[in-house]
Structure 1
């Protein structure tokens, strides 16, 4: 195997990726853009005109919704998406997963994505980088840890992820967790081997004709760069990797370490605006604390009546009620924030299955209906108020809203908080083109996140 590093980064895209949800998709875009690697995130399979417009980009992403989908859905939808991304010619094709590894064999199966992806790119091996120190995610001896507040928790004991309403994490050992989703052999290059300079030796020993998945520990900047080195120097004629944004951070760390990438220039700070519109479909306690904080700091927070939204007879009435309240708030130059739940203990979350049953619909349909209602509300707010900056919390909500706004692509404008940058929307419609959008996953941001979107960082 050729381990030599070229003197220059190759021409064309360096990485193409499919994001398993919309908020996580902006995370990779932020990581590369802040490092000086131009990146665009398409929100739908791009036309040739959009491909030409962004032909100078070194990283190309496609936002998806597979995190909440079944293996059958993935088998039908992921191969064409992967094929469209492979056409950009990048040496690495990534299936971008959440840094908390949200998945199980029935929903958002990362193993299914790997099985499909290696058929597109070849199966010499499939690296997996999940740790991302900038996001306070750490992988040690194959076990995943994530911070919340001042504490770092093993994922199966994490206050949020161990109680996730759809994909609760009951196993922090990623080899064990992933083995429930794929029959592929799964190996590990641990942090001790990396720090002792034995990473390549361990990787060589793990190789085989069966194309193993190889987890790479990341706990700090040193192991991050060493993981990036293993991926880049062993990319061969092409690799498929199911990884978090830790892969982007790892590649950047390696490229900088060997002089292939210079230090980035300072990114513009975010300027404030007088009013934003925000919605949340997140069940995370982190988002719940952000909603509470916003309510006591000048935002007009309004709870969606989930029961009303799930009923075909009352959904339109509830949407209209919230739209009118938001319009009144914007007229007063107050920022509206509409939310469907406040943390995992919210009655709307604990009783959601019962509400879906009473409405006579499947659980998946119920989740989709809430997302569509939030999307319809945001579309109406943007159309009728002329607001130019919006915030969306929750992966499924972000996908629904971005689709409702007919946004073709996003690029990063500036930083807000790690993992949730401020983006510029690119759209055919002049009303939507230039809209500023912040997409936030459930675990991202401090208590003042929504005010940070409003007031910026300048």
Structure 2
């Protein structure tokens, strides 16, 4: 294994797998820390954790466990992958995990770059933009678990770590890999270990990947990996033997727990021509909504049935006020996990999920351990094979075009 990756959720990990697979690396995504060794043909291994919103100490412990396993596989370099909207609270978990990984690897000059231009995420002057809006004006300020109220990644990261944060501005990134290496060294000389790097184009991410050649650790969204396959390719380390993909026919269903603007627009588009069923948070908490009922409903419908709890943020906040945010999130995740299990048990072969926490709950509920990365549906979202008769699409809330659900169903089928 050449590249060892640790993802803080399942959709983000599949996003990273999509980037690396398109770059020509043989990639496998693992659900949690594997118990045994990786297959010998895996060039990039991604350990997908559900660590984005758990207590900081637990996130650090899980990430270090994943690092130990990846080190045992002989990796040359390590990547900590988090969301391109830097989803975290002022306490963590991105900063504490990055510092712990850096400590374990004795790593300095650690790049921090959540940019992903293909999906509208860019970093300029240390500030994160979503399209032409600053992060805190993009809708992410309403996220129910990790509201992003400050677009300055340097300042937000500074709340989370013990050290100070450096910065490599876009003018230096535009100067090429050597200019970036010199800037990283200056930042280290000034006492900074974690260093936010600007990136507004894919070419900037390629430059950062080249500049990180020889560094043990880098961090970012999946975009930071765009240039890494070529770094390994130029060293003649890649096998260049890509895998094959075959689609899967059979019943399909969609489960959505994301409250993002993008997902709610996708739901509105989809339900105009497909069966849909909204599940209110109050019904989840009272037990009025059951997994068996939801699975039976979806299995009885033709088309692409959709079950969703993706309410307006104000409704979500009201439900959290009534029942507690953690209790509400836990109950919804458990409902979706059991619904997914019953859907697959009932014959569903194509399953689409929206939302990082929802996707993580579904993958854990299905007791999956490894996912094969297939073709891209939309930027950042690949199809994935979970078994001989089951394929998945795990979508981050903010990703995908307006007709994502229909497009995903077709791509999963191979059409």
Q: Give the TM-score taking structure 2 as reference length.
A: 0.91
Greater mean deviation of Cα atoms: 336-345 or 398-407: 336-345
CA distance in structure 1 between the aligned counterparts of 2:190 and 2:402, rounded to whole angstroms: 49
1:81 pairs, out of 59, 66, 80, with 66
> Does the 8 Å CA contact 1:275/1:454 hold for their aligned counterparts?
no
**Distance in 1 separating the partners of 2:80 and 2:122:** 19
What is aligned with 1:336? Answer: 305
Note if contact 1:187-1:214 (Cα within 8 Å) is conserved in structure 2: yes
Partner SS for 1:296: coil
Secondary structure of the corresponding residue to residue 146 of structure 2: coil
DSSP 3-state at the match of 2:255: strand
Of 23, 36, 60, the match for 2:24: 36
Q: What residue number does 2:34 align with?
A: 46
Cα distance, 1:166 vs structure 2? 2.0
1:216 maps onto 2:177 in alignment = no
Aligned equivalents of 2:248, 2:74: Cα separation in 1:
39
CA contact (8 A) 2:354 2:394 kept: yes
Which runs of structure 1 show a deviation greater than 4 angstroms over 4 or more consecutive aligned residues? 253-256, 258-262, 264-274
Q: Name which of 60, 68, 89 aligns with 2:45.
A: 60
Cα distance change on mapping 1:292 and 1:412 into 2, 3 Å:
same
Task: Calculate the TM-score normalised by the size of structure 1.
Answer: 0.83
The answer (yes or no) to whether the contact 1:270–1:414 under 8 Å persists in 2 is: no
The 3 A distance-change label for structure 1 pair 336 and 221 is: closer
SS of alignment partner, residue 384 of structure 2: strand
- The alpha-carbon deviation at position 271 of structure 1 amounts to 5.5
Judge conservation of contact 1:326–1:336 (CA < 8 Å) in 2: yes
- Displacement, 1:363? 2.6
Paired residue for 1:164?
143
Matched, 1:279 2:259: no
What is the aligned partner in structure 1 of residue 88 from structure 2? 103
Aligned match of 2:6: 18
Distance 2:142 2:34 in 1: 37
Q: Give distance in 2, aligned partners of 1:128 and 1:389.
A: 35
Q: Is the 8 A contact 1:271 1:455 kept in 2?
A: no
Secondary structure of the structure 2 residue equivalent to 1:124: coil
**CA contact under 8 A between 1:272 and 1:454: conserved in structure 2?**
no
CA distance in 1, matches of 2:375, 2:207: 28
Deviations for 1:310-368, whole angstroms, at most 9, x for unmatched residues? 13xx25x5333222211211xxx3322111123424x2x13122331xxxxx5313211
The DSSP-based 3-state class of the residue aligned with 1:178 is helix
**Is 1:302 matched with 2:277?**
yes
SS at match of 1:131: coil
Q: Which residue of 1 aligns with 2:133?
A: 153
Structure showing greater Rg: 1
Hey, what does 1:353 align to over in structure 2?
Answer: 320
For each residue in 1:369-401, what CA deviation from the matched residue of structure 2 results, as whole angstroms up to 9, or x when unmatched? 1101011111111101x1211101111111111
- Residue ranges of structure 2 left out of the alignment (5+ in a row): none
Shift of 1:287: 0.6
1:439 is matched with 394
Structure 2 partner of 1:419: 380
Question: Corresponding residue for 1:178?
Answer: 157
Query: What is the aligned length?
Result: 411
Match of 1:397 among 349, 358, 368: 358
Q: Please list the CA deviations of residues 230-289 of structure 1 after superposition, one character each: whole Å capped at 9, or x if unmatched.
A: 111x42xxx233311122113246567x68699x89997886846411101111121111
The alpha carbon displacement at 1:14 in A equals 2.4
Does the CA contact (< 8 Å) of 1:270 and 1:415 recur in 2? no
Other structure's SS at 1:37 match: coil
Aligned to 1:375: 337
Q: Distance in 1 between matches of 2:235 and 2:313?
A: 46
Quick one: distance in 1 between partners of 2:275 and 2:343? 14
Indicate the RMSD between aligned Cα atoms, in angstroms: 2.5
- Aligned partners of 1:135, 1:370: CA distance in 2, in Å? 27
- Corresponding residue for residue 9 of structure 1: none
TM-superposed CA distance for 1:207, in Å, is: 2.2
The answer to whether the Cα contact below 8 Å between 1:156 and 1:169 also exists between their aligned partners in 2 is yes
State the distance in 1 between where 2:200 and 2:344 align.
42
One of 108, 117, 121 as aligned partner of 2:105:
121
- TM superposition shift of 1:209: 9.1
Residues 76 and 307 (structure 1), Cα distance of their counterparts in 2 relative to 1, 3 Å cut: same
Distance 1:320 1:221, change over 3 A: closer
Contact 1:105 1:181 in 2 (8 A): yes
Q: What SS does the corresponding residue of 1:102 show, helix, strand or coil? A: coil
Q: What SS does the aligned partner of 1:128 have?
A: strand
The whole-number CA distance in structure 1 between the counterparts of 2:266 and 2:243 is 25
* Aligned pair partner of 1:191 in 150, 155, 170: 170
